[in-house]
Amino acid sequence: MTKYGSFPGTRPRRLRTSPAMRRMVAETRLHPADFILPAFVREGVSEPVPIGAMPGVVQHTRDSLRKAAVEALEAGVSGIMLFGVPEDEKKDAVGTPGTDPDGILQVAIRDVRAEVGDELLVMSDLCLDETTDHGHCGVLDEQGRVDNDATLERYAEMAQVQADAGAHIVGPSGMMDGQIGVVRDALDQIGREDVAILAYTAKYSSAFYGPFREAVASSLKGDRKTYQQDPANARESLRELALDLEEGADMVMVKPAGPYLDILAKVADAVDVPVAAYQISGEYSMIEAAAEKGWIDRDKAILETLTGIKRAGAQNILTYWATEVAQKLGRQ
């Protein structure tokens, strides 16, 4: 205390004095509708198969996937992003299960649409990595390199069969040059102007995809550095963003989320379309593993990471905790 009164005169701590005060002045709020649930469905299994590297996540059967979709809907989640895992013997060099109307992903799309109709957005991964025997996101040339333009032809076919199966939104995730334009044209050619495209605009070649490779039974040898983005680069994302928007993307996404919040913020500041971020398998697994060891508070860590992703600019977040967090938010 001085003769001039208390010092300092400005005390930001006044706005942190109680839970009620902090809640009232919070700048970022999570809502169940923010979330999209990624889900895996595996062909030829009679029970859900636990994913060892992702505690609490499974490769679904068709029946358990339908139940998971209903649970997500009831929790207020906006969408479910489906990944199909075909039987190994059906994989081939061009990813035939990805364009087979009876391939596991197309079957799963039809199953979920039949269960939830238009109340939950059914979204489909549009990529070849789960269906090729080499595990890459595209067709290989004679030298074993991913052939960009040959891959686009396969993506066009995939877009059409996924739309026919009932996908509301397709998610081209292979990072091929020109993929959004080709997919948009393919959808429009069959009169499916209503199907939206979620562009994986900034998808980085990340070390955090490891658990996902188990989740989709990936056959990948080597890496994807010739088509996924270099983690060292930022301006490159804005170039990819401009191209995706020019080609007709309805929504754009940054993947991974946590290690690339700076990229997410740049993208969100630059566009007037919805922006999503994918909190990927490695981000999930790190928190689950640390919590299992008792090193962190699991629930608080989950909410903190999701709040950070939304604060950085994501309107929607793909997260394996989507249903769980939405249920908890609904009870508050």
Among 91, 255, 266, 310, the active-site one is 255
225 flagged as catalytic: no
224 is in an annotated binding site: yes
- Please answer whether residues 214 and 238 qualify as being in contact, where contact means their C-beta atoms are separated by less than 8 angstroms: no
Determine contact, residues 159/198, Cβ cutoff 8 Å. no
- Return d(Cα 173, Cα 228) in angstroms, integer: 9
* 113 is an annotated ligand-binding site residue: no
Spatial CB neighbours of 173, under 8 Å, sequence gap ≥ 6: 125, 126, 127, 137, 200, 203, 255
101, containing H or E segment: none
Contact (CB, 8 A) for 280 and 256: yes
Q: Is 320 annotated as a binding residue?
A: yes
The residue annotated as part of the active site, out of 203, 266, 310, 328, is 203
- Among this protein's residues, is 266 annotated catalytic? no
283 known member of a binding site: no
Tokens coding 132: 């090729």
Residue 35 sits at φ, ψ, to 5 deg, of -100, 150
Cite the annotated binding site for 5-aminolevulinate by residue number. 213, 224, 281, 320
Q: Which residues are annotated as a binding site?
A: 213, 224, 240, 281, 320
Catalytically active residues, by annotation: 203, 255
